Amino acid sequence: MFFRLPDWLRYEIQHLWERRGINIREWINANTRIIIGITFVSVLILLVIVICMLMPEGIIKVEEYDKEWFYDLNTGKLFAAKSEAAVPIEAPSGELPQGGPAGVRAYVFSYSDEPNERNRFIGFLEIPDPNAKDDKLLSLESTATGAELWGQGRLIRRVEDEQWVPANSTEGRAILGELFYPNAKGEIANYCSPE
């Protein structure tokens, strides 16, 4: 549908030009360079806008950390270790009473922009699921999204919980949902990396 000015507005504009003694058609014929220039600039601006809209956004780089947080199941304290460490890892307190390493991966968050030890909290703990299939097979046979793929083969729990649950289960999604839901002030928790 073609945009058309209301009749009253067209008459007002025409009347204004006539009062000033300017005929629009004569003015356009006398100033073709100005009209061509305006048209050229308008088309150029339109092309720039279209190109900017069609260009793909830059690749978002995910920040990788050299160290990650781990939680000592014996002492209930956080410690940092290399991020490549296979979980569970050896903790500063030694082995668990029933045997095996006491260090599990911990995800530490804060609502503060500049977190310190007082305003950090542990969102959840993570260990690999000993009963999980091979990760390569899971990714080939699955049509899962990124978050669902992350949760495959992982068990998580809150610090105060006793039982580990699969990250993809209803209970696991509830733990993650509570963490990433805004608090009473509307703030969203941010991941805190170890220094």
Q: pLDDT averaged over the chain? A: 82
Instruction: Give residue limits of the domains in the chain.
Output: 7-54, 67-191
Give the residue-averaged pLDDT of 81-98.
84
Nearest to 124 by CA among 153, 104, 144, 145: 104
CA 156 to mean position of chain CA atoms: 21
Q: What pLDDT is stored for residue 140 in this prediction?
A: 46
Beta bridge partners of 157: 125
Q: pLDDT tens-digit profile of 21-37?
A: 767 777 778 888 988 99
Q: pLDDT tens-digit profile of 138-162?
A: 454 555 566 666 778 889 999 999 8
pTM of the entire predicted model: 0.62
Give the residue-averaged pLDDT of 167-191.
86
45 pLDDT above the threshold of 90? yes
Helix (H) or strand (E) holding 49: helix 32-54
